[in-house]
Chain A
Amino acid sequence: MNRREKEQYLRDYGILKAKGKPFFPYAVTKDGAMACVVLAVIITMSLVLGAGQGPKPNPTTTSYVPRPDWYFFFLFELLRVVKPDSLTQLATIGIPTLGMIALFLLPFYDRSPERRPEHRPIAMVTFVVVVGAMALLTYQGAHAGDPTTISLPTPQRIVKAGGATLAEYEAGKAVVAQSGCLACHKIGENGNGGPGPNLTRVATRLPAGAIARTLVNPTAPMPSFRNLPPNKFKAAVAFLNQLK
């Protein structure tokens, strides 16, 4: 904005202000009504949704996949969407920091005097894209796979084999889902992409024996699963051996 535009704005604003109404009581009434609405919403949410409390924290657990509060879902999902390890820092620190800097400096790089939305196409497109991306990421973050279930469909060949094979596959799926593997591994749509490798097709890389040996004697930081009951261990190996 150059000096002429600044003076033009101040003059126009002065005219609009002179024609306005006093803050008290006109704006105060509206603000008060809005405050009542806010209070009513908070009270209703408190009464309807309550305030629960989860189990006590267990610092030694390896199977718990933490989730943030809903308004951080978009950052949480961003971390899940950005796959390569080299870019993880970009998702966790880079993008939020850049976003904040962009917000901070907004009045300094957008210096045009135009205020009507229909005459600010770049600003409006940016607004729609950013809000849309945040809404989409929030939605996906909210519906991200439950950390203790595996939604992989049972393959046709297992269903056909039926009987003991099918039962062992399903039992193994439950064991793997509940043993915390998904905290570090991805299986199909579920679990985290790291630090462990993706297990969706692990059986194409490792034979059953190698899978079992890895479970008993893993590379750190993966914990050993040698203490699983033998039947659960066998089922888990059988399930993982079918992932191809």
Chain B
Amino acid sequence: MPRLPTPKLPAALQGPPPRPGEENGNVAPADAAKEAGITVVDWVDERTSLSGAARWLMFRKIPKGTNWYYTLGSATLFAFLSQAVTGVFLAMYYRPDAGGGAYESIRHITDQVFLGQFVRGMHLWGASVMVVLVFLHMARTFLFGAYKYPRELNWVIGVVLLILTLVMALTGYLLPFDQRAYWATVVANNITATGPLIGPYLGDFLRAGPEFGATTLSRFYSIHMLVVPGLIAALIGAHLYLVTKLGTTAPPWQKVETRPELNEAEV
């Protein structure tokens, strides 16, 4: 007896159709890995919406005429990162002890630690490179008139970053605690103390006591590796946010070719 064909299951009871790549039930390992990666990114993005920010940061347009002078800012940022990384390694061995410990720990880093002198040299000369790059970046901004509307606030943040960079250079100079470091910082401290109004208080605060010595060193150390780097990192964040939001400037002599059909007189 002929039988009627079995009717199809209603759509609600059917399983999902096979996904691409798994028609015969087993997935290629490469596809599975790709799938897993996408799933993780999706999972994070679903909870943070970071993909929009990443697209905003990476796929923004930079104006026509952008040239090599525009890499000075990111080069400064890179020098800061290099200082941060080498500084972390130096902090693993450094002891802010004015009673000879600081001097001995620097000697230990220089003479005994694996690649110690190299990393110390990178930190020492990286400071000079960073100062030079900060000034070059500022010169570029000044010459191109890039501090003008609407980027005034970014210039102000940049000047604060310049001052903080010089504070880093000054406080870092004491840390090796040799003759040069000691006396240069005594002088810098005395000069600070001669300032009007807040000068004496600032001098007392930096010296951290009646005598220049143990407490001064630990205070400079904490300023050099905690306070100022934190401030610099936060302000770099603000600086970059504004750069991304406002866009980098075009070179001042870049010609703007307006489309004639947009000319008001001709419309």
**Residues of A with Cβ closer than 8 Å to B?**
1, 6, 9-10, 12-13, 15-24, 26-28, 30-31, 33-35, 37-39, 41-43, 45-47, 49-51, 53-59, 61, 64-72, 88-89, 92-93, 97, 100, 103-104, 106-108, 110-117, 120, 123-124, 127, 131
Contacts of B191 in A (CB 8 A): 92-93
Given contacts A31-B71, A34-B75, contact A20 B196 (CB under 8 A): no
Contacts of B139 in A (CB 8 A): 127, 131
Contacts of A23 in B (CB 8 A): 57-62
Q: State whether B178 touches A56 (Cβ < 8 A).
A: yes
Q: State whether A66 touches B212 (Cβ < 8 A).
A: no
Q: How far is the CA of A153 from the CA of B136 in the complex (A)?
A: 41
Enumerate 29 A-B pairs (CB-CB under 8 Å) in ascending A order. A6-B149, A16-B64, A17-B64, A20-B66, A21-B61, A27-B62, A34-B78, A35-B78, A38-B75, A38-B78, A38-B129, A38-B133, A46-B124, A54-B176, A54-B179, A57-B183, A59-B182, A61-B179, A64-B179, A66-B180, A67-B184, A68-B173, A71-B166, A88-B194, A93-B194, A93-B195, A97-B195, A104-B159, A108-B152
Q: State whether A107 touches B82 (Cβ < 8 A).
A: no
Per-position binary interface string of chain B over residues 166-188, scored 1 when its CB falls under 8 Å from any chain A CB and 0 otherwise: 10011001001111111110111
Instruction: Tell which of B177, B247, B258 touches A57, judged by Cβ atoms closer than 8 Å.
Output: B177
Within 8 A of A (CB), among B198-221: 199, 212-213
Instruction: Tell which of B58, B106, B121, B145 touches A115, judged by Cβ atoms closer than 8 Å.
Output: B145
Chain A contact residues, majority secondary structure: helix
Q: How far is the CB of B45 from chain A (nearest CB, A)?
A: 18
Q: How far is the CB of B180 from chain A (nearest CB, A)?
A: 5
Contacts of A131 in B (CB 8 A): 139
Q: How far is the CA of A58 from the CA of B152 in the complex (A)?
A: 47
Contacts of B146 in A (CB 8 A): 115
Question: Chain B CB within 10 Å — which of A19, A88, A92, A115 has the most?
Answer: A115
Residue of A nearest to B76 (CB): A38
Given contacts A45-B121, A53-B107, A57-B177, contact A20 B78 (CB under 8 A): no
* Segment among B22-30, B223-231, B248-256 that sits at the interface with chain A: B248-256
Residue of B nearest to A17 (CB): B63
Q: How far is the CB of A177 from chain B (nearest CB, A)?
A: 18
Q: State whether A114 touches B159 (Cβ < 8 A).
A: no
Q: How far is the CA of A187 from the CA of B127 in the complex (A)?
A: 35
Q: How far is the CB of B90 from chain A (nearest CB, A)?
A: 10
Q: How far is the CA of A114 from the CA of B147 in the complex (A)?
A: 11
Q: How far is the CA of A41 from the CA of B125 in the complex (A)?
A: 9
Contacts of B232 in A (CB 8 A): none
Q: State whether A57 touches B78 (Cβ < 8 A).
A: no
Contacts of B57 in A (CB 8 A): 23
Q: State whether A104 touches B62 (Cβ < 8 A).
A: no
Question: Chain A CB within 10 Å — which of B65, B106, B123, B254 has the most?
Answer: B254
Q: State whether B188 touches A68 (Cβ < 8 A).
A: yes
Q: How far is the CA of A115 from the CA of B169 in the complex (A)?
A: 32
Q: How far is the CA of A55 from the CA of B179 in the complex (A)?
A: 6
Q: How far is the CB of A148 from chain B (nearest CB, A)?
A: 13
Q: How far is the CA of A13 from the CA of B199 in the complex (A)?
A: 45
Contacts of B71 in A (CB 8 A): 30-31, 33-34
Within 8 A of A (CB), among B87-140: 100, 103, 106-107, 110, 117-129, 131-133, 139
Contacts of A66 in B (CB 8 A): 180, 183-184, 186-187
Contacts of A53 in B (CB 8 A): 103, 106-107, 110, 176, 178
Q: How far is the CA of A61 from the CA of B132 in the complex (A)?
A: 33
Interface check B40, CB cutoff 8 A: no
Question: Chain B CB within 10 Å — which of A16, A65, A106, A127 has the most?
Answer: A16
Contacts of A111 in B (CB 8 A): 148-149
Contacts of B79 in A (CB 8 A): 38, 42
Q: State whether A57 touches B173 (Cβ < 8 A).
A: no
Q: How far is the CA of A22 from the CA of B258 in the complex (A)?
A: 21
Given contacts A89-B194, A93-B191, A113-B148, contact A35 B121 (CB under 8 A): no
Residue of B nearest to A6 (CB): B149
Q: State whether A13 touches B63 (Cβ < 8 A).
A: yes
Contacts of A50 in B (CB 8 A): 117, 121
Contacts of A6 in B (CB 8 A): 149-150
Q: State whether A115 touches B120 (Cβ < 8 A).
A: no
Q: State whether A64 touches B194 (Cβ < 8 A).
A: no
Instruction: Tell which of B119, B184, B258 touches A68, judged by Cβ atoms closer than 8 Å.
Output: B184
